[in-house]
Amino acid sequence: MLNFEFHNPTRIVFGQGKVADLARLVPAQARVLVLYGGESARRTGTLDEVRAALGERSVSEFGGIEPNPSYETLMRAVAQVRAEHIDYLLAVGGGSVIDGTKFVAAAACFDGEPWDILLQRGRNVQRALPLASVLTLPATGSEMNNGGVVTRKATQAKLSFSSVHCFPQFSVLDPTKTYTLPPAQIANGLVDAYVHVMEQYLTYPVQARPQDRFAEGLLQTLVEIAPGALAEPPDYHHRANLMWTATLALNGLIGAGVPQDWATHMIGHELTALYGIDHARTLAIVLPSLMQSQRAAKRDKLLQYAERVWHVSGGTEDERIDAAITHTRAFFESVGIPTRLSAYGLGREAVDAVVAQLTAHGMLKLGEHRSITPEVSRAILEAAL
């Protein structure tokens, strides 16, 4: 196992009806800004519940944080925070709203141009306003981690940051809040969480047995619950399992003490920035192709994954690896997410554009061995056409 430090201060308050607990969780004297996305939080009544639970506190609102939150929009929230002397941020939404709130928390306390937070990947964040969340979409794990991803529309740059100051103080996870999600968003959540585990698991062995077994359990849970999580009418226990699995997939636990990849995410972010494809869908395009491209470097873990997650036995080692890749692609397709660029109307010109953006953003040595150069990314994308 590699050396590590593990720290996660986020309190999780899980279960039906738990939004009411905001009354005790948010400090009584807080001047609160509630941040949300488009119309879903209002339409579903969650915003009213939040307001009721906050009672007599001073509460303002900032709506309109878009999927793949933009720097341009978030800077308007920063201006509101400063003008109204806000001292507590409450995100109500999915990963985009929570990520955006983390950025606002850091940017509001930042001296200088806040875009530098993205350029420095958060290393320059020295303080942030306290923040918390009410999660309405299980997928990203943002509710229990310290990372965020922000897009600068003007330059089509989608960059991530993280800081120890950006963990939510608490997150409310009520599985019934997922009942209003369209099936496509449930499918996105299943795939995003799956790929989060893969980024931290499918590298090379370092004798990290609990992390490996835990990661394999999370992957199997996602495969097992997928049909039930997608079923209508929604089933509480399936949605609860999806919600908690997605949180555990990226709260630092399985990533502690192991090498991590994240190349699929970095390539995927460029696809979203250029073409607006949902985050999870970009991952479904890139990962199977990346597994194929990196099959030598990832050989030991691919064989372990084939055997333990998909119960592949028999055949040569290469046949077992082929089967593991086929199962992975089939799982994504089974929840309705296409895994080829062509299915999104993209061809070779997109490959050139993504590779150019990766280069422009300094993504020159991706992956656990820092061996995925822009030319390797090109090969991965060409194989995904």
Query: Contact positions toward ligand NZQ, by CB under 6 A?
Result: 37-41, 44, 67-68, 93-97, 99, 136-137, 139-142, 145, 147-149, 177-178, 180-181, 185, 188, 192, 250, 265, 279
223-256 in b/e form (b: 16+ CB < 10 A) is bebbeebbeeebbeebbbbbbbbbbbbbbbbbbb
Question: For ligand NZQ, which is the closer residue by CB, 41 or 157?
Answer: 41
Cβ neighbours for 385, distance < 8 A, ≥ 6 positions apart: 340, 341, 342, 347, 348, 351
CB 362 within 8 A of CB 268: no
Interaction partner, residue 89 (ligand NZQ, Zn ion, none; CB < 5-8 Å by kind): none
CB 228 within 8 A of CB 235: yes
> Cβ 41 to ligand NZQ, closest distance in Å?
5
Is the link from the previous residue into 233 a cis peptide, with omega within 30 of 0? Answer: yes
Tokens of 199: 């980024």
Interaction partner, residue 143 (Zn ion, ligand NZQ, none; CB < 5-8 Å by kind): none
Question: Contact with Zn ion (CB under 5 A): which of 143, 174, 192, 278?
Answer: 192
> Cβ 163 to ligand NZQ, closest distance in Å?
12
Question: For Zn ion, which is the closer residue by CB, 114 or 147?
Answer: 147
Question: For ligand NZQ, which is the closer residue by CB, 268 or 306?
Answer: 268
> Cβ 236 to ligand NZQ, closest distance in Å?
15
Residue whose structure tokens are 């895994």: 339
Cβ neighbours for 31, distance < 8 A, ≥ 6 positions apart: 57, 58, 60, 84, 85, 86, 87, 88
> Cβ 26 to ligand NZQ, closest distance in Å?
21
278 binds Zn ion (CB under 5 A): no
Segment contacting Zn ion by CB under 5 A, of 40-48, 107-115, 190-198, 285-293: 190-198
Q: How many Å is the Cα radius of gyration of the chain?
A: 20
Question: For Zn ion, which is the closer residue by CB, 59 or 289?
Answer: 289
Question: For Zn ion, which is the closer residue by CB, 30 or 193?
Answer: 193
* Residue 358 CB neighbour total at 10 angstroms: 23
CB 329 within 8 A of CB 288: yes
> Cβ 227 to ligand NZQ, closest distance in Å?
20
212 binds Zn ion (CB under 5 A): no
99 binds Zn ion (CB under 5 A): no
Q: Long-range contact list for 346-354, CB < 8 A, 24+ apart?
A: 346/275, 347/385, 348/382, 348/385, 350/271, 350/274, 350/275, 350/381, 351/378, 351/381, 351/382, 351/385, 353/274, 354/267, 354/270, 354/271, 354/274, 354/381
Question: For ligand NZQ, which is the closer residue by CB, 148 or 255?
Answer: 148
Question: For Zn ion, which is the closer residue by CB, 49 or 368?
Answer: 368
Q: How many CA atoms lie within 13 A of 280 on its CB side?
A: 26
> Cβ 87 to ligand NZQ, closest distance in Å?
23
Q: Is 297 helix (H, G, I), strand (E, B) or coil?
A: coil
Question: For ligand NZQ, which is the closer residue by CB, 137 or 372?
Answer: 137
> Cβ 326 to ligand NZQ, closest distance in Å?
24
- Applying CB under 5 A, the site for Zn ion has a residue count of 1
Interaction partner, residue 145 (Zn ion, ligand NZQ, none; CB < 5-8 Å by kind): ligand NZQ
Q: Which of residues 43-62 bind Zn ion (CB under 5 A)?
A: none
Which residues of this chain interact with Zn ion, rule CB under 5 A? 192
